[in-house]
């Protein structure tokens, strides 16, 4: 799994805050989960599975490195619209203040 696939899978759940990666053995397979323990209940997101424990460990290590980056990107996407709306509201308000009533009247007559 590459970074964009991992990011898409984790980002699909914006209300979750995944903080760790876990491996669980299920029969002869190893399942990898991103976990959210920020609430009273522990939530797990299935990321993938493999038959090889060493491969599962390798994936888990890679996912642990990517997880903080995905969380930062999700936070920035959450904040960006708020910042944009604040700036555009300020800009619209400022533009309204700068337009003089006579100028509006002349523009409407055109």
Q: What is the pTM of this model?
A: 0.68
For residue 40, what pLDDT is reported?
A: 73
The mean pLDDT values, 10 residues at a time, for the chain of 110 residues are: 91 88 96 87 91 95 95 84 56 48 49
For residue 102, what pLDDT is reported?
A: 52
For residue 68, what pLDDT is reported?
A: 94
> What angle, rounded to 10 degrees, do the helices at 3-11 and 53-98 form?
60
């Amino acid at each position: 799994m590459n970074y964009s696939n991992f990011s898409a899978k984790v980002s699909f759940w914006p209300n979750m805050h995944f903080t760790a990666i876990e491996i669980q053995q299920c029969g002869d397979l190893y399942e990898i989960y991103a976990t959210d323990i920020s609430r009273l209940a522990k939530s797990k997101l299935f990321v993938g599975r493999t038959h090889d424990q060493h491969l599962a460990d390798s994936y888990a290590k890679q996912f642990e490195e990517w997880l903080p980056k995905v969380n930062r990107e999700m936070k920035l996407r959450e904040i960006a619209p708020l910042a944009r709306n604040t700036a555009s509201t300020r800009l619209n308000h400022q533009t309204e203040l700068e337009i003089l009533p006579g100028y509006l009247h002349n523009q409407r007559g055109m």
